Amino acid sequence: MPLSLPQSPTPITIAIIGTGLIGPRHVSAVQCSPNATLLCIVDPSPSSQTVAANFSIPRYASIKSMLSSSPTVPEAAIVCTPNHTHVAVSKELLSAGIHVLVEKPISTDVTSGRSLVQHAATCHRHLLVGHHRRFNKYIVLTKQILNSASPSVNLGRIIAISGLWTLYKPPSYFDPPTDWRRERTSGGPVLINLIHDIDVLHHLFGPIVRVHAEKTISQRGHPAEEGAAVLLKFASGVVGTFLLCDAVPSPHNFEAGTGENPMIPFVGRDFYRVFGTEASLSVPEMRRTGYGGGEKSWNLPLSEEILGVEEMAAPFELQVEHFVRVIRGEVEPSCSGTEGLRAVVVCEAVRKAIESGEPVDIGEKL
Q: What would the pLDDT profile of 249-285 be if each residue is shown by its tens digit?
A: 999 999 999 999 888 999 999 999 999 999 999 999 9
Query: What's the average model confidence in pLDDT over 30-58?
Result: 91
Alpha helix positions (H), 181-220: 189, 195-205
State mean pLDDT over 33-39.
95
Task: Give the model's pLDDT for residue 143.
Answer: 97
* Residue 266 to residue 209: CA distance in whole angstroms: 33
Identify the CA nearest to 360 among candidates 351, 345, 349, 344: 349
Beta bridge partners of 162: 241, 273
pLDDT at residue number 157 = 96
The CATH number, out of the four listed (3.90.1150.10, 3.40.50.970, 3.90.79.10, 3.30.360.10), of the domain defined by the range 134-312+344-361: 3.30.360.10
Cβ–Cβ under 8 Å, residues 12 and 35 = yes
Q: Cα angle vertex 93, ends 88, 97, to 5°?
A: 140
Residue 283: C-alpha distances to residues 133, 209, 268 (Å): 13, 24, 9
Q: How much of the chain exceeds pLDDT 90, in percent?
A: 84
Q: Which pLDDT does position 49 carry in this prediction?
A: 87
**What is the pLDDT, as a whole number, of residue 1?**
39
> Number of C-alpha atoms within 13 angstroms, CB side, residue 319?
25
| Mean of all residue pLDDT scores within the chain | 93
* pLDDT category of residue 55 using cuts at 50, 70 and 90: confident
* CB crowding 162-197: b at 16 or more within 10 Å, else e: bbbbbbebeeeebeeeeebbbbeebbbbbbbbbbbb
Residue range(s) in the chain whose domain bears CATH number 3.30.360.10: 134-312+344-361
Choose which CATH entry (3.40.50.620, 2.40.50.140, 3.30.300.130, 3.40.50.720) describes domain 12-132+315-335: 3.40.50.720
Beta bridge pairs of residue 274: 161, 281
Residues 278-307 have pLDDT tens digits of: 999 999 999 999 998 778 999 999 999 999
C-alpha closest to that of 207 among 65, 342, 54: 342
Please count the other Cβ atoms lying within 10 Å of the Cβ belonging to residue 122. 10
- Taking the C-alpha atoms of residue 252 and residue 257, their distance in angstroms, rounded to an integer, is 7
As annotated, the residues of the chain forming the CATH 3.40.50.720 domain(s) are 12-132+315-335
